[in-house]
Amino acid sequence: MAKQNRSALGRGLDALITMDDVRTNGTSSISEIELSKINPNPDQPRSVFEQEALEELAASIKTHGIIQPITLREIALDKYQIISGERRYRASLMAGLTALPAYIKKASDENVMEMALIENIQREDLNSIEIALSFQNLIESYNLTQDMLSERVGKKRATISNFLRLLKLPAEIQLGLTGKTIDMGHAKVLLSLDDPTEQKRVYEQIISEGHSVRRTEEIVREIKEGGRKDDDKKETPKKTKPVTTSKTPEEYAMLQEHLTNFFNAKIGFSCDDKGKGKIIIPFDSDQDLERIMKLLDTLEK
C-alpha cells in the first residue's frame, strides 16, 4: 500500500532520500563502519559543539555504546560522509571507538544539506544564527526562493524570513545569539531599530542590566517615539501642540481619584478641549503588573 504524503518534517529524513541500495551486513540494515573511513559534512549547519557535552556523551558511549546509529552516504569506495550524527561521531572518537553503527543511504549534496538542517531543527540543536546561515546557504547554493525553501524544509515562509533578517544585525549581536546571551525575542525587537549603532547600544543594555524582551520593547518604543518627536520639531517647528486643559473637570477629577484608589497606584489622567485623553496606570515591577491585571480581570467579570 502506498504511503500517504505528509509534510517534509512530518515525513522525516527518509522522505528526503532514496531508500534504494541500502548497504547491509547480513540481515541487518545497519553497518559497522570504521571511523577512519568517515568524514564530517563540510556543510554541517551546526558549528558549535560544546566540549563538556561531548565529554559526557563520550563517557556514556564508553559505558553503553552507540544506542542510535548515525546516517552516512558513500562518497567514494569505502569513504563516507556524515548526513546526521556528527556529535555522536565526535564523541565516539573521544571514547576511543574504532567503528560505529550507521545507516548508509543515497543522497545528493542538496539533500544532505536539507537533511542535516532538518534533523538539527527537529532536535533543537541549532542556535538562531546557525539556522539563518543554513537557510541562506540553501537559498544561494541552489537558487531557491523563500517559498521554495519553505516547502523543502517544512517551515513557514515568515519563519524563514525572520531567521534571515537576523543576519542583518551587527556581528556583536549575532555572537550574542550564538552564545545565547540573548534570545530570538530580543533580536526581533532590535531589528525594529534601523540604526545599527542604536541596536548595539540597546543590546549592551540588555546584557549589562538583564532586560527581558518586554523591557527591551519598552526601550525601543521610547527611542522611536523620541525620534518622531525630534523629527516633528525639525520639520514643523511652528506647529502648535493640541490645546489641553490644565485642570480636569470635577467629574474627571473624581474619576481619577477613584481609579487611583482602586488600583492603589497614582493614575495619570489627561484630557484636551475636544474630550480626547489618556488614562495611564503605572506599575513598579512584573509582580505589580500582575496585580493590576488581576484587578482588570475582576472588572471584566
- Rounded to whole angstroms, how far apart are CA atoms 238 and 232? 10
Cell of 198: 542604536
Range of the domain at 143: 114-230
Q: What average pLDDT does the structure give for the chain?
A: 76
Rounded average pLDDT over 250-266: 75
Query: What confidence tens digit (pLDDT) does each residue in 116-166 have?
Result: 676 666 555 678 888 888 888 888 877 889 998 888 877 889 999 999 999
Predicted local distance difference test score (pLDDT) of residue 205: 93
Confidence of residue 16 (pLDDT cuts 50, 70, 90): very low
Examine the pLDDT at 18 and tell me if it is beyond 70.
no
Return phi, psi of residue 278, to 5°: -135, 145
Residue 80 lies in a domain: yes
Predicted local distance difference test score (pLDDT) of residue 228: 54
Rounded average pLDDT over 291-301: 70
- Rounded to whole angstroms, how far apart are CA atoms 189 and 192? 5
Q: Are 289 and 283 in contact (CB under 8 A)?
A: yes
Query: What confidence tens digit (pLDDT) does each residue in 38-72 have?
Result: 998 877 666 677 788 888 888 888 888 888 888 88
Residue 173 lies in a domain: yes
Predicted local distance difference test score (pLDDT) of residue 51: 85
Q: Are 38 and 72 in contact (CB under 8 A)?
A: yes
Q: Which of 86, 114, 119, 130 is catalytic?
A: 86
Predicted local distance difference test score (pLDDT) of residue 206: 93
Confidence of residue 74 (pLDDT cuts 50, 70, 90): confident
Examine the pLDDT at 212 and tell me if it is beyond 80.
yes
Confidence of residue 220 (pLDDT cuts 50, 70, 90): very high
Examine the pLDDT at 7 and tell me if it is beyond 50.
no
- Rounded to whole angstroms, how far apart are CA atoms 187 and 176? 9
Predicted local distance difference test score (pLDDT) of residue 238: 43
Predicted local distance difference test score (pLDDT) of residue 25: 37
266 and 175, same domain (yes or no) = no
Residue 170: CATH number of its domain: 1.10.10.2830
Residue 3 lies in a domain: no
Choice between 11 and 50, residue whose per-residue pLDDT is larger:
50
95 and 156, same domain (yes or no) = no
- The answer to which of 3-12, 167-176, 281-290 has the lowest mean pLDDT is 3-12
Choice between 90 and 252, residue whose per-residue pLDDT is larger:
90
Rounded average pLDDT over 239-260: 58
Residue 240 lies in a domain: no
Confidence of residue 172 (pLDDT cuts 50, 70, 90): very high
Kindly report the pTM of this predicted structure: 0.48
Residue 27: CATH number of its domain: 3.90.1530.30
Spell out a b/e string for 177-187, using b for 16 or more CB atoms within 10 Å of the CB, else e: beeeebeeebb
Predicted local distance difference test score (pLDDT) of residue 15: 40
223 and 123, same domain (yes or no) = yes
- Rounded to whole angstroms, how far apart are CA atoms 75 and 217? 49
Query: What confidence tens digit (pLDDT) does each residue in 187-210 have?
Result: 999 999 999 999 999 999 999 999
Examine the pLDDT at 9 and tell me if it is beyond 60.
no
Choice between 181 and 290, residue whose per-residue pLDDT is larger:
181
Predicted local distance difference test score (pLDDT) of residue 198: 94
255 and 275, same domain (yes or no) = yes
Note if 86 is an active site residue. Answer: yes
Domains in the chain: how many in total?
Answer: 3
103 and 122, same domain (yes or no) = no
Residue 236 lies in a domain: no
Q: Are 104 and 80 in contact (CB under 8 A)?
A: yes
